[in-house]
């Protein structure tokens, strides 16, 4: 007899353990396979096999049979099964939640199926078919079928194509099937995303000496048993080309690679790059694929047809075997941290996966995160550097513009005099410009100039945001909408207006000052549709517009040779966010945006408009000076005991009733205090432990409280984090709680 232990597909603490079933002799079962079993009163329950055993301690009468297998192969490979356990233990979730990361959500409850086509194929030799065709003069339809098939290279044709060619052929097919001249086959087809991309393979570039030196370090590590690298390369230093060569090295050695890119918006350009170099050996996984496309790409990978997987965060779980290298591009990006449960950090998972599988980890950025750079200084990561742009192209020349002075000079437009002049020049030269508007942290609320009233959401304690396209107000937390008031609801004044600069405002001013210049706008409103993002970029690349106006989406990774000017409309918008990383974010964003200028043989100019020109983040960004920013920022972090010196853990409680939320938070506090009195050696590391109302007190009619723990980062800290997360897990129906680690948005 054989038995197996499975985890059922229910994410609940109470059933988060192994259940034993008997394997009927007719079934072949391996760990990682998906099965259907009876479970309690539920007749058909999905589950994943974790172990297979010869014997079992339980009495046979209590054990039930596995009903069937859902696929005839393990959908979770042994390496990913192992990773699931790691995730359960380190990201604090149930085993089911960890396992669900490993295969497309659509496969559960069988919401997608493979797409099949019907093919009519000759089943006799060509000569034989020709002989038989010669006898069919009085059966023109049958003759037409054979002639059509004989005319193809592989002597077969999809039935839809055949029908298009010769009309309805079904009745005449029957005799041909009966006498064995043809057969009907069902074949799987793969839905391929990005078919619009020109797939002619492009040659690899010859590396510069700096690129070559970095590559040889990476390749040497790949030939041994891996290593963890941080590649710090300024914008335009040619990191992508290094990735491509390193992946080639992996493929030549029979290995595979994963490339993580920050977010969906970056994918189209990257995908073009990679598909033009690796063709069908590359697969794309990201959230904008249709479920069919995602499922098909996943299966191509699972079957070993794919050598390189490119994708956003969740691509780290791609079912590749024999991994040689995992690359995390723009490693400083926040989007690698999942905000949904399980709240994994793709960078940490990548590191774990590399260690498990003996692969190279390559974190790369022009503006490494404080955490990664600090780790490289400690020697936890090996630092690789590319301090110059490819072919000695200069870094862009950045000018800081003090907007306070513009105002006192009577200039109320969004363009400073110097940016305006540079724009006129750039346009006159027939070059392209990018205008960057930082939406994050920018208030585009509506307020009364008479009494100062701000229009707030009725359900949340936040101001509503003005959306010019629809001319309405929307709450970014709960989605509630309101028309724009004509008069102030408190004092009746008609001087009610919206403040803040958005992309639309910049576009309007462009048209006012430069009526003949064509512009493209890229923001959430203009990129809702699938592929809209890629299409807009392609239009800009083709020169359909001279000026691209956009938000964060245009900040990273884009490479437009004709862009010689970048204008940053308001550089300091996010310096004042209630986030300990706001300086780091500002520096990263400004450096990345500036890096879009002057990437080909034309030199680049950048104008950085700000109300805080002396701030060190802005100063350092204007010089693209990562190291001096790093030094200064680390001093701030040390003084204020912020990460990477500490870890901040926040349990965020919410309930309809304010008192209940508060009590839940206070009970959490008591449990933590009890925990620290048991683990006294840890207590000295705690720098903050208290309950307070959340900065946004109410969202969607629910009141919010928080329990915050700030603790020095040292080996035992993980235990305290686990304790906080355990507390967050045991909540009742009335009070909800999420545990966040180093949350960026302390709203
Ligand atoms: P990064 O990602 O480091 O900002 P990219 O990888 O986008 O830089 O490269 C910047 C530009 O340099 C791109 O246009 C790329 O095609 C070009 N480039 C990279 N490597 C080479 C090389 N070895 N020879 C010539 N051009 C290169
Ligand atoms: Zn008013
Ligand atoms: Zn709201």
* CATH at 376: 3.40.50.300
C-beta 416 within 6 A of ligand 1:
no
Asked if 488 and 450 touch (Cβ cutoff 8 Å), the reply is: yes
Relative to beta strand 42-53, strand 519-522 is unpaired
Which pLDDT belongs to residue 235? 86
Which pLDDT belongs to residue 252? 96
Q: Are residues 55 and 150 in the same domain?
A: no
Which pLDDT belongs to residue 450? 74
Report pLDDT digits (tens) over 661-693: 999 999 999 999 999 999 888 888 998 898 988
Q: Are residues 336 and 266 in the same domain?
A: yes
Which residue, of 354, 372, 391, is where some domain finishes? Answer: 391
Q: Are residues 306 and 353 in the same domain?
A: yes
Crossing angle, helix 209-223 and helix 239-252, to 10 degrees? 30
Asked if 276 and 200 touch (Cβ cutoff 8 Å), the reply is: yes
Distance CA 361, CA 32 (A): 26
Distance CA 509, CA 515 (A): 9
Quick check: is 450 in a domain? Answer: no
Q: Are residues 106 and 120 in the same domain?
A: no
Residue environment code for 635-657, b if the CB has 16+ CB neighbours within 10 A, otherwise e: eebeeeebbbbbbbbbbbbbbee
Number of Cβ within a 10 Å radius of residue 252: 10
Q: Are residues 568 and 652 in the same domain?
A: no
Domain range spanning residue 133? 115-189
Which of residues 584 and 164 earns the better pLDDT score? 584
pTM of the model: 0.80
Q: Are residues 619 and 530 in the same domain?
A: yes
Nearest by Cα to 88 from 521, 607, 729: 729
Residue 504: which H helix or E strand, with range? helix 503-513
Which residue, of 77, 110, 143, is where some domain finishes? Answer: 110
Candidate from 350-364, 473-487, 619-633 with smallest mean pLDDT? 473-487
Q: Are residues 344 and 243 in the same domain?
A: yes
Report the CATH number that the domain containing residue 730 is assigned in CATH: 3.30.70.600
Indicate whether 567 pLDDT > 50.
Answer: yes
Asked if 414 and 509 touch (Cβ cutoff 8 Å), the reply is: yes
Quick check: is 39 in a domain? Answer: yes
pLDDT band at 198 (very low <50, low <70, confident <90, very high): very low
Distance CA 112, CA 104 (A): 10
Asked if 655 and 613 touch (Cβ cutoff 8 Å), the reply is: no
Quick check: is 481 in a domain? Answer: no
Place of tokens 């048991």: 678
Candidate from 37-46, 510-519, 599-608 with smallest mean pLDDT? 599-608
Which pLDDT belongs to residue 316? 96
Which of residues 244 and 14 earns the better pLDDT score? 244
Q: Are residues 290 and 230 in the same domain?
A: yes
Name the residue of 209, 240, 333, 596 to mutate for ligand 1: max ligand atoms within 8 A of Cβ. 240
- pLDDT (mean) for 315-335: 94
CA of 205 to the centre of ligand 1 (A): 9
Nearest C-alpha to atom 10 of ligand 1 is from which residue? 236
Helix boundaries (H) for 281-345: 291-302
Ligand whose nearest atom lies closest to the CA of 699: 3
Please give the share of the chain, as a percent, with pLDDT higher than 70. Answer: 92
Asked if 55 and 99 touch (Cβ cutoff 8 Å), the reply is: no
Report pLDDT digits (tens) over 243-291: 999 999 999 999 999 999 886 545 566 677 777 888 889 988 766 678 8
Which of residues 108 and 144 earns the better pLDDT score? 144
pLDDT band at 502 (very low <50, low <70, confident <90, very high): confident
* Distances 527 to 208, 261, 533 between C-alpha atoms, Å: 36, 19, 5
Quick check: is 488 in a domain? Answer: no
Distance CA 700, CA 656 (A): 9
Report the CATH number that the domain containing residue 45 is assigned in CATH: 3.40.1440.60
Which pLDDT belongs to residue 222? 97
Report pLDDT digits (tens) over 438-450: 765 455 678 776 7
C-beta 559 within 6 A of ligand 1:
yes
Read off the tokens for 237: 């230093």
Which residue, of 575, 603, 638, is where some domain finishes? Answer: 638
Place of tokens 């709240």: 343
Which pLDDT belongs to residue 685? 93
C-beta 311 within 6 A of ligand 1:
no
Q: Are residues 657 and 720 in the same domain?
A: yes
Name the residue of 237, 390, 591, 597 to mutate for ligand 1: max ligand atoms within 8 A of Cβ. 390
Quick check: is 197 in a domain? Answer: no
Which of residues 278 and 463 earns the better pLDDT score? 278
CA of 236 to the centre of ligand 1 (A): 6
* Distances 301 to 48, 116, 190, 285 between C-alpha atoms, Å: 20, 18, 12, 10
Asked if 259 and 248 touch (Cβ cutoff 8 Å), the reply is: no
In terms of Cβ atoms closer than 10 Å to its own Cβ (0-12, 13-18, 19+), residue 572 is: buried
Dihedral, 435, 439, 445, 450 alpha carbons, nearest 10: -50
Taking only Cα atoms into account, the Rg of the chain, rounded to an integer number of angstroms, comes to 30
Quick check: is 273 in a domain? Answer: yes
Nearest C-alpha to atom 20 of ligand 1 is from which residue? 238
Q: Are residues 421 and 566 in the same domain?
A: yes
Report pLDDT digits (tens) over 536-547: 888 999 999 999
Quick check: is 631 in a domain? Answer: yes
Read off the tokens for 411: 């200039």
C-beta 207 within 6 A of ligand 1:
yes
C-beta 238 within 6 A of ligand 1:
yes
Which pLDDT belongs to residue 23? 95
- pLDDT (mean) for 461-477: 76
Q: Are residues 438 and 559 in the same domain?
A: yes
Candidate from 116-130, 185-199, 346-360 with smallest mean pLDDT? 185-199
Relative to beta strand 42-53, strand 34-39 is antiparallel
Quick check: is 619 in a domain? Answer: yes
pLDDT band at 195 (very low <50, low <70, confident <90, very high): very low
pLDDT band at 112 (very low <50, low <70, confident <90, very high): low
Nearest by Cα to 85 from 68, 67, 70, 97: 97
Asked if 326 and 353 touch (Cβ cutoff 8 Å), the reply is: yes
Name the residue of 241, 362, 561, 591 to mutate for ligand 1: max ligand atoms within 8 A of Cβ. 241
Which of residues 85 and 555 earns the better pLDDT score? 85
C-beta 208 within 6 A of ligand 1:
yes
Which of residues 112 and 406 earns the better pLDDT score? 406
Nearest by Cα to 434 from 322, 298, 555: 555
- pLDDT (mean) for 706-713: 92
C-beta 211 within 6 A of ligand 1:
yes
Relative to beta strand 519-522, strand 547-550 is parallel
Place of tokens 């079992």: 56
Mean pLDDT, the chain, whole residue set: 87
Please give the share of the chain, as a percent, with pLDDT higher than 90. Answer: 45
- pLDDT (mean) for 567-596: 83
Indicate whether 193 pLDDT > 60.
Answer: no
Indicate whether 578 pLDDT > 80.
Answer: no
The number of distinct structural domains making up the chain is: 5
Which pLDDT belongs to residue 113? 59
State the closest ligand 1 atom to the C-alpha of 234, by its place in the atom list counted from 1: 3
- pLDDT (mean) for 391-419: 87
Q: Are residues 429 and 562 in the same domain?
A: yes
Nearest C-alpha to atom 2 of ligand 1 is from which residue? 239
Asked if 644 and 371 touch (Cβ cutoff 8 Å), the reply is: yes
User: CA 157, 162, 168, 169 torsion: positive or negative?
Assistant: negative
Ligand whose nearest atom lies closest to the CA of 242: 1
Distance CA 236, CA 383 (A): 18
CA of 467 to the centre of ligand 2 (A): 21
Indicate whether 134 pLDDT > 70.
Answer: yes
Candidate from 527-531, 688-692, 735-739 with smallest mean pLDDT? 527-531
Candidate from 147-161, 431-445, 472-486 with smallest mean pLDDT? 431-445
Asked if 214 and 221 touch (Cβ cutoff 8 Å), the reply is: no
């Amino acid at each position: 007899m054989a038995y197996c232990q499975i985890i059922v597909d229910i994410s609940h603490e109470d059933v988060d353990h192994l259940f034993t079933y008997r394997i009927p002799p007719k079934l072949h079962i391996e760990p990682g396979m998906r099965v259907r079993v009876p479970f309690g009163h539920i007749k058909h329950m999905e589950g994943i096999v974790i172990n297979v055993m010869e014997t079992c301690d339980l009495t046979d009468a209590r054990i039930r049979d596995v009903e069937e297998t859902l696929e005839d192969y393990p959908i979770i490979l042994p390496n990913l099964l192992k990773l699931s356990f790691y995730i359960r233990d380190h990201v604090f979730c149930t085993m089911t939640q960890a396992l669900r990361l490993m295969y497309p959500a659509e496969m559960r409850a069988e919401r997608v199926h493979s797409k099949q086509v019907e093919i009519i194929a000759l089943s006799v030799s060509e000569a034989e078919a020709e002989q038989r065709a010669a006898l069919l003069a009085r059966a023109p339809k049958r003759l037409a079928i054979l002639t059509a098939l004989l005319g193809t290279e592989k002597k077969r044709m999809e039935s839809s194509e055949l029908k298009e060619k010769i009309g309805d052929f079904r009745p005449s097919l029957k005799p041909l099937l009966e006498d064995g001249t043809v057969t009907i086959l069902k074949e799987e087809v793969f839905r391929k995303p990005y078919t619009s991309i020109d797939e002619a393979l492009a040659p690899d570039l010859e590396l510069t000496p700096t690129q070559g030196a970095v590559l040889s370090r990476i390749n040497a590590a790949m030939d041994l048993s891996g290593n963890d690298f941080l590649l710090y390369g300024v914008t335009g230093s040619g990191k992508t080309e290094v990735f491509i060569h390193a992946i080639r090295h992996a493929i030549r050695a029979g290995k595979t690679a994963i490339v993580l890119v920050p977010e969906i918006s970056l994918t189209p350009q990257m995908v073009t790059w990679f598909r033009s170099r690796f063709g069908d050996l590359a697969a794309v996984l990201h959230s904008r694929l249709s479920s069919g496309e995602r499922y098909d790409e996943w299966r191509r990978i699972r079957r070993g047809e794919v050598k390189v997987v490119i994708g956003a965060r969740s691509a780290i779980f791609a079912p590749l075997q024999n991994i040689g290298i995992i690359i995390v591009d723009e490693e400083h990006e926040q989007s690698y941290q999942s905000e949904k449960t399980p709240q994994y950090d793709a960078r940490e998972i990548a590191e774990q996966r590399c260690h498990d599988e003996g692969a190279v980890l390559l974190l790369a950025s022009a503006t490494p995160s404080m955490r990664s750079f600090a780790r490289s200084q400690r020697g936890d990561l090996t630092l690789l550097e590319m301090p110059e742009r490819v072919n000695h192209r200069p870094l862009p020349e950045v000018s800081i513009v003090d907007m306070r002075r513009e105002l006192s000079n009577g200039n109320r437009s969004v363009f400073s005099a110097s940016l305006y002049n540079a724009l006129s020049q750039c346009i006159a030269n027939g070059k392209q410009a990018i205008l960057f508007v930082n939406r994050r942290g920018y208030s585009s609320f509506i307020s009364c100039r008479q009494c100062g009233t701000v229009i707030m959401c009725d359900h949340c304690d936040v101001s509503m945001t003005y959306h010019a396209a629809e001319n309405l107000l929307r709450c970014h937390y709960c989605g509630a909408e309101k028309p724009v008031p004509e008069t102030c609801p408190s004092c009746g004044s008609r001087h009610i207006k919206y403040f803040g600069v958005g992309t639309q405002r910049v576009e309007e001013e462009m048209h006012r000052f430069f009526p003949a210049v064509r512009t493209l706008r890229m923001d959430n409103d203009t990129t809702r549709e699938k592929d809209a993002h890629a299409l807009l970029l392609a239009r800009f690349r083709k020169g359909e517009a001279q000026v691209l106006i956009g938000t964060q989406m245009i900040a990273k990774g884009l490479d437009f040779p004709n862009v010689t000017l970048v204008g940053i409309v308001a550089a300091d918008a996010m310096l004042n966010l209630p986030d300990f990383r706001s300086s780091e974010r500002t520096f990263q964003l400004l450096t990345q945006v500036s890096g879009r200028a002057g990437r080909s043989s034309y030199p680049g100019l950048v104008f950085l408009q700000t109300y805080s020109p002396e701030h060190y983040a802005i100063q350092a960004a204007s010089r693209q000076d990562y190291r001096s920013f790093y030094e200064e920022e680390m001093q701030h972090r040390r003084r204020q005991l912020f990460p990477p010196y500490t870890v901040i853990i926040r349990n965020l409680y919410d309930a309809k009733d304010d008192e209940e939320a508060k009590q839940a938070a206070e009970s959490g506090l008591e449990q933590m205090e009890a925990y620290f009195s048991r683990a006294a050696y840890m207590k000295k590391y705690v720098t903050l432990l208290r309950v307070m109302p959340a900065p946004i007190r109410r969202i969607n009619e629910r009141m919010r409280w928080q329990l915050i723990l700030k603790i020095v980062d040292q080996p035992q800290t993980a235990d305290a984090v686990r304790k906080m997360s355990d507390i967050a897990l045991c909540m009742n129906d009335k009070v909800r709680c999420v545990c966040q680690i180093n949350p960026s948005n302390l709203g």
